[in-house]
Amino acid sequence: MRQQKGITLVALVITIIILLILAGISIASLSGSGLFDNARKAEKEYGDSQNKENSTLQDYEKWMDNYLTNGTK
């Protein structure tokens, strides 16, 4: 009787096929639920809020520079 060590090539191929099927199902369910669209929308909203915050900070900085340049009133 021959002693077997390790896994066979067939078992390895079957495992890889099962993993590929599971990956395909999960990718299809993620893209079908709009998760990627929501992520893009959130990224755009984050960028818009950053731009608004930077604009507000620049306005405050200009106001402070003007206030300090012209002296206290």
pTM for this predicted structure: 0.49
Specify burial of residue 47 (Cβ count, 10 A radius: 0-12, 13-18, 19+). exposed
Structural domains in the chain (count): 1
- In a domain? residue 58: yes
- Whether 41 maps to a domain, the answer reads yes
Q: What is the pLDDT of residue 73?
A: 53
Give per-10-residue mean pLDDT for the chain (73 aa).
Answer: 76 94 87 81 96 95 90 61
Tell me if 36 sits within 8 A of 30, measured CB to CB. Answer: yes
Confirm whether 39 is domain-assigned. Answer: yes
pLDDT at residue 27 in the model: 84
Task: Tokens 């507000």: give the residue.
Answer: 56
pLDDT of residue 72: 59
Residue 4 in domain: no
Residue 1 lies in a domain: no
Q: Which residues of 10-23 are buried (b: 16+ CB within 10 A; e: fewer)?
A: eeeeeeeeeeeeee
pLDDT at 35: 78
Measured CA distances, 25 to 15, 16, 31, 39 (Å): 16, 14, 10, 20
Residue 20 lies in a domain: yes
pLDDT for res 2: 67
pLDDT reported for residue 37: 84
Q: Which domain holds residue 39?
A: 9-70
